[in-house]
Amino acid sequence: MNLKHKPLLAALAIALLLLPFATDAMLGRGWVRIADFALLYIMLALGLNIVVGYAGLLDLGYVAFFAVGAYNYALLSSPQFGLHWPFWVVLPLGALLACCFGVLLGAPTLKLRGDYLAIVTLGFGEIIRIFLNNLNAPVNITNGPQGISMIDPIRAGEFSMGGEHQLFGLAFPATHLHYYLFLLFTLLVIFVSRRLEGSRIGRAWMAIREDEVAAEAMGLNTRNIKLLAFAMGATFGGLSGGLFAGFQGFVSPESFSLMESIMILCMVVLGGMGNIGGVILGGVLLVLLPEALRNGAGPMQQALFGKTLVDPESLRMLMFGLALIAVMLLRPAGLWPSTQRRRELSPDEMISHQEQDTVYDNSK
Amino acid sequence: MDILLQQIINGLVQGSVYALVALGYTMVYGILGLINFAHGEVVMVGAMVALAVSGMLLAAGLPPLLVLLLALLVAMAVCMALGYAIERIAYRPLRNAPRLAPLITAIGVSIVLQNLAMIFWGREYHAFPQLLPGASHGFGGAIINDVQIIIIAVALLMMAGLLVLVHRTRLGRAMRAVAENPSAAALMGVDINTVISVTFMIGSALAAVAGLMVSANYGIVHYYMGFLLGLKAFTAAVLGGIGNLRGAMLGGVLLGLIESLGAGYIGDLSGGFFGSNYQDVFAFFALIAVLVFRPSGLLGERVAERA
Amino acid sequence: MPYKHLPLAILFAAVLAACGKSGTPAANSSAPAATGATSDELVVKIGASAPLTGPQAHIGKDNENGTRMAIEDANTKGIMIGGKKARFELLSEDDQTDPKAATIVAQKLVDAKVNGIIGHLNSGTTIPASRIYSDNGIPQISPSATAVAYTAQGFKTAFRVMANDGQQGKVLGEFAAKSLNARKIAVIDDRTAYGQGLADEFVKSAQANGAQIVTHEYTTDKAVDFAAVLTAIKGKKPDLVFFGGMDPQGAPMLKQLRSLAMDVKFMMGDGGYTPKLIENAGAAAEGAYASLPGVPLEQMPGGKDFSQRYQAKFNQPIQLYAPYCYDAVNVMIAAMQKAGSAEPAKYLSELAKTEYDGVTAKITFDEKGDLKGGAITMYQVQKGKWMPLQTLGGSAPAAK
């Protein structure tokens, strides 16, 4: 890392540390909770980024790994089976389990390309959700659509993150504690992503993304490398899922619908595929935007027309959809694309023509 | 035996519904290589417009069949305009963009259409008036009604019509040329933009037909109906080999049959462990099995290893 | 890694957040902003949450309407709480039927310092949100969540004015097996927390009363085609079909049932008791049964008046749970009056001791916060209208 960025990074670190208290004071605790979710989604988006952004494999069922992590936590630390395993066992186990599911998904899809891969991953996501939703009979495992409630909060010894704590003379409510925990894990995920990006494996993923045949001709074992992408991406998803279950205290299959997968994909693409900073930006924006619109839509109408013409809540998702379209039209490569991709895309006419051909080529 | 026959009929009807929507998907995909995720919402808009128009005309006292025809025409016109607008606004500017960019705008369009429909037509489930004859026919112990027969017929007719259009007309040749190689087609004097616009409008007109048929069959219209329908149709199109018109029909019918036979017999087959709740799992496993052996769907051409 | 864009990104996020801030207080309040508040006026904020977008938005809006009406009524009546004139404000939020959004909304309502919560609509949103209300000591009355788990968590703040799945499923099963004399019953559920919970309780009760469950089939809450499961059921020749689900599926299911020439009795829970079911199923709805907790509105004091005023105000008939929301608000206000305070900590104990004659039933809570007694009325579609058949279970209601 460059030395001249140091002051900037220090400022950023302080800002991130103070964020929950500042938000709580200015906007209310609801926004701290939103920040917590933003961090969870950043982890998810970074995980999907490995599959979609680095390896170029379109995955529409990513939420399945989130679900695996969440249900793993819920089953092993709740009254459902009377198990109350500590989180440092359950969280890594969830990540590992998700990793296995990643390989399980990857294996039959190795030969598939583009949109065929998309539909199979979509199907995989739905299959996991349907199983979670129905495994309450004949043997009750997941408690079916009722979901699992009373999940243990994340705790270490006597220190439970479910309640408020006094530390250093400051009151830390549950939302704040989770913020710091999630921040820690997010930093870990960012660190791993960055290391992977520059590594042999990362370069192999990008080689596959750019041209699988050429990559194979260069002696890359494309099968293993693709499986590794699925496995790594899934691991992050499982980790985030476990944290989600501990935070919410309740999981039900409703939280793992196809729409969630699509939203995570939007974060990756809208932010800037393959670029960690862009993906983080995408995650933050797509979590904040609908919430900001929740409060913004009503007053904005008041200001524009002097009265509320349409229910603010109907307008909220409408504006969200419009924002998705507008951002992609204005910045087709994402808000903050990776420099490498940008170099490939814009200045060279030839390459953009090649890209154009790939859009059409899928039909053949 | 009559139960099995009935399940096959159920599957055929359901499958034809999927095929109706899948044809529109595949039409656009065949030319552009783009999954038009908003297609399901266009179907919904078609159904909603048809509902609004037929409500007005029935109140004016017109005979049902005339109402049906007028509602269909208006719905097709509206959907064509909508399809044109979607392509112009959300897809055309992104033709040179990375492959996933139009996917995101498609999702955006889908959200926008859904919420616009919610604002215009309300949150309720609307009853769709009975415009088609609804008489039932006994048939070897099974039952099929007129609307269902019409749906199967319309799906087949539409597929045939599209095949003729694509393979026997000048426009069709232009479409195929654009699909093959857009730059070369442009050099040969094909107006790519017009061809793509027209393709979208045809696809959207098909969506209007599908919307009307679906709502006539189930008698219910709702602003959220497009999502699931679009998803199933997309699955059907991929199963058959996306981009291939016959494949869309075959994939639709197969998916319908798999679903209905799955729902009907999965319980008996698995000794009661699985039930009709695993109907979609069954369908997706079938899809995965097909794709493992034929990575481009049943009738899709082999994807060339891109070099 | 180019970090030079980061400040820009942070700025963008900050702007977004600030834009959110502007509307936070009193978003959606039904009364004019607190400009005219005087010192002897007490502002009481009632939070409400239900899905206002998505597939169940029509029922969510109905909930909001019922809550709104109760609040406006209270404001016209001029309620005194602890010697001060109370002015009630409604803060309504969309939970999108999403458990995650529900907890965000819950935290926001807590931030806005609401005095009580009416919500949520679904069990899947009510349960995770209830933990946040409980942590902050804010009383919550759900008008429509029926999952047994909601009040079984041991939260002192959780109440409901709706019979739970156990109470309702029991009555439904008894009615099917005894009153309708059904011997062979087929069950369908929509795999939602509501549909599955109710169907399972129904099965237990029907079996206990001597009926046989010939098959249990499934659908989803987004499906419109039920031909396959209905055909499978047809092969089992039941004399009654029970569907655990809501009216958007119930209506087309009824139509398809009849077009498959299945002449069987059809029964649903409260999710079927809507004018929409009859409107959307048409002639096929004739003879269908459904239940609704409480006593028929027409038989309750103020019930008829309520439904007429609702129709006039919102230009549509009551969809489903609006009367329960109306009752929930009034129960809350009555407890505040008794306690002489709108402080959650002060009126919570009064809420637990509630005895209130609402438009749906006489409302008292048991030690868990469930509706005590839980009278349930069975209805049947007769000549295109829901007609009450009999009121079962629970203590005899105070119908006058």
Span C185-200, pLDDT tens digits: 999 999 998 999 999 9
Question: What is the nearest CA distance from B198 to chain A, expressed in angstroms?
Answer: 17
Enumerate the residues of chain B whose CB falls inside 8 A of the CB of residue C223: 228
Q: Say whether pLDDT at C14 is over 70.
A: no
| Least confident piece of the model among A67-81, A86-100, C302-316 | C302-316
Predicted-assembly ipTM surpassing the 0.85 threshold: yes
C149 and C266 co-located in one domain = no
Report the C-alpha gap between A114 and B230 in whole angstroms.
18
Task: Please say whether the beta carbons of A275 and A55 come within 8 A.
Answer: no
Range of the domain at C171: 166-292+376-392
Which other chains touch chain B, taking contact as 3+ CB pairs less than 8 Å apart? A, C
Are B119 and A325 inside 8 Å of each other by CB?
no
What's the pLDDT score for residue A342?
55
- In a mutational test of the A interface, the residue from B91, B234, B255, B306 whose CB has the highest number of chain A CBs within 10 Å is B306
pLDDT exceeds 80 at position C28: no
Residue A348 has pLDDT above 60, yes or no: no
Q: Which of A105-114, A176-185, A281-290, B167-176 has the lowest mean pLDDT?
A: A105-114
By the 10 Å C-beta count (0-12 exposed, 13-18 middle, 19+ buried), B289 is classed as: exposed
Helix (H) or strand (E) holding B205: helix B192-218
Is residue C138 left, alpha or beta, with left meaning phi > 0 and alpha meaning psi from -120 to 50? beta
Q: How far is residue C66 CA from its own chain's centroid?
A: 11
| B77 lies within 8 A of chain C by CB | no
Distance from CA of A111 to the nearest CA of C (A): 32
Chain B 106-125, CB below 8 Å of chain C: which residues?
A: 115, 118, 122-125
Pair of tokens at residue A111: 């030969």
- What is the per-residue DSSP string for C284-300? GGTT-EEEEES--GGGS
Domain boundaries, chain A: 15-153+169-361
3-state secondary structure of C186: strand
The count of other CB atoms within 10 Å of the CB of residue C122 is 28
pLDDT recorded at residue B134: 77
Inter-chain touch B108–A317, beta carbons under 8 Å: no
Report the DSSP beta bridge partners of residue C90: C46
C184 and C83 within one domain: no
DSSP state of C212: E
What CATH number labels B8-129+142-293? 1.10.3470
Mutation site, B9, B121, B125, interface C, largest C CB count within 10 A = B125
Residue A196: pLDDT above 50? yes
Position with higher pLDDT, B287 vs A314: B287
Residue B219, SS3 per DSSP:
coil
The verdict on C90 and C237 lying in the same domain is: no
Residue C291 clears pLDDT 50, i.e. is over it: yes
The Cα–Cα gap between C219 and C233 comes to 13
pLDDT digits (tens, 9 = 90+) for A207-237: 998 888 899 898 889 999 999 999 999 999 9
Q: Assign domain A15-153+169-361 one CATH number from 1.10.286, 1.10.1760, 1.10.3470, 1.20.140.
A: 1.10.3470
- Kindly determine whether residue A248 and residue C100, on different chains, have CB atoms separated by under 8 Å: yes
- Out of A1, A30, A250, the one facing C127 most closely (by C-beta) is A250
Query: What is the structure's pLDDT at C53?
Result: 84
Residue C399 has pLDDT above 70, yes or no: no
Please identify which residue in the block is written with the tokens 């492959």: B99
Residue C371 falls within a domain, yes or no? no
Q: Hey, is the C-beta of B232 within 8 angstroms of any chain C C-beta?
A: no
- Cα–Cα distances (Å) from B173 to A27, B244, C301, in that order, read 60, 15, 74
Q: In this predicted structure, what is the pLDDT of residue A358?
A: 45
DSSP A280: H
In CATH, what number is assigned to the domain containing residue C284? 3.40.50.2300
Rounded CA-CA distance A73/A54 in Å is: 29
Instruction: Tell me what pLDDT residue C40 has.
Output: 74
A292: nearest CB among C19, C104, C124: C19
Structure tokens at A78: 């709740």
Q: Which residues contact A353 (CB under 8 A, 6 or more apart)?
A: B96, B183
A9-18, C8-17, C143-152, C377-386: range with lowest mean pLDDT = C8-17
pLDDT over 50 (residue C35): no
**So what's the pLDDT on residue A165?**
83
Q: What is the pLDDT of residue A297?
A: 66
Q: Do A313 and C52 lie within an 8 Å CB cutoff?
A: yes
CA distance B195 to chain A (A): 14
Range from B74-83, C9-18, C172-181, C310-319 carrying the lowest mean pLDDT: C9-18
C contact test, residue of B9, B119, B123, B213 with most C CBs within 10 A: B123
> Hey, are the CB atoms on B219 and C252 less than 8 Å from each other?
yes
Q: What is the pLDDT of residue B195?
A: 94
Nearest CA in chain B to C237: B3
What is the arithmetic mean of pLDDT over C208-232? 93
Q: What is the mean pLDDT of residues A319-331?
A: 92
When the pLDDT of each residue in chain C is averaged and rounded to a whole number, the result is 87
In angstroms, the separation between the Cα of residue A341 and the nearest Cα of chain B is 10
C171 and C287 together in one domain? yes
pLDDT at C301: 80
CA distances from C56 to A255, B94, C400 (A): 16, 35, 34
Q: Which of A254, A294, A312 sits opposite C124 (nearest CB)?
A: A254
B17 interaction partners in chain C (CB closer than 8 Å): 225
Contact B264 C218 (CB under 8 A): no
Please indicate, yes or no, whether residues C132 and C193 belong to a single structural domain of this protein.
no
Place of tokens 């583009």: A114
| C315 inside 8 A of chain B by CB | no
Segment 244-263 of chain C within 8 Å of chain B by CB: 247-248, 251-252, 255, 259-261
C243 and C384 both lie in a single domain: yes
- How far off is chain B from A227, nearest CA to CA, in Å? 16
Interface check B172 vs C, CB under 8 A: no
Q: How far apart are CA C267 and CA C257, in angstroms?
A: 12
The answer to whether A277 contacts C12, with C-beta atoms less than 8 Å apart, is: no
CB contacts, 8 Å: B109 with chain A: 321, 325
Is residue C322 included in any domain, yes or no? yes
Measured in angstroms, the CA of B175 and the nearest CA of chain A are apart by: 12
Task: Compute φ and ψ for B277, nearest 5 degrees.
Answer: -70, -15
What's the Cα-to-Cα distance from A333 to each of A323, A330, C143, rounded to whole Å?
15, 9, 47
Q: What is the pTM of this model?
A: 0.89
pLDDT at C169 over 60: yes
Say yes or no: C69 and C130 in one domain: yes
B119 and A310 within 8 Å at the Cβ level: the answer is: yes
Given CB atoms, is B14 within the 8 Å cutoff of chain C? yes
Q: Residues of A with CB below 8 A from B296's CB?
A: 116
Both tokens assigned to C42:
């007490």
Over range C98-106, report the average pLDDT.
91
Cβ–Cβ < 8 Å for C128, C110: no
**Whether residue A345 has pLDDT greater than 90:** no
Same domain, C173 and C151: no
Please judge whether C107 and A255 are an interchain contact, meaning their C-beta atoms are less than 8 angstroms apart: no
Please indicate, yes or no, whether residues C270 and C319 belong to a single structural domain of this protein. no
Residues of A whose CB is below 8 A from C134 = none
Using a CB-CB cut-off of 8 Å, the residues of chain B touching A363 are: 29-33, 179, 242-243
What pLDDT shows up at residue C397?
42
Chains that touch A (3 or more CB pairs under 8 A): B, C
- Cα end-to-end span (Å), chain C: 75
**Does B187 lie at the interface with A, CB-CB under 8 angstroms?**
no
Query: With an 8 Å Cβ cutoff, are B127 and C282 in contact?
Result: yes
Q: What radius of gyration do chain C's Cα atoms show?
A: 22
pLDDT of residue B30: 85
Residue identified by tokens 């963009």 is B97
For an interface test with A, give the residue of C108, C146, C194 to mutate (most A CBs within 10 A): C108
Chain C residues 12-41 within an 8 A CB cutoff of chain A: 12-13, 16-17, 19-24, 27-28
Total count of domains within chain C: 2
Which pLDDT score is estimated for A158? Answer: 76
B252 touches chain A (CB under 8 A): no
CB-based contact (8 Å) between B182 and chain A? yes
Distance from CA of B283 to the nearest CA of C (A): 14
**Would residue C12 count as lying in a domain?**
no
- Joined together, the tokens standing for residue C148 give 């047994």
Q: Mark yes or no for CB contact C231/B145 under 8 Å.
A: no
How confident is the model at residue A118, as a pLDDT?
87
Per-10-residue mean pLDDT of chain B, 307 residues long, equals 89 94 90 87 96 93 91 96 95 87 92 93 89 83 90 95 94 91 90 94 95 92 91 92 91 95 85 84 89 86 46
What is the pLDDT, as a whole number, of residue C355? 92
Annotated domain spans of chain B? 8-129+142-293
> Who wins on pLDDT, C160 or A317?
C160
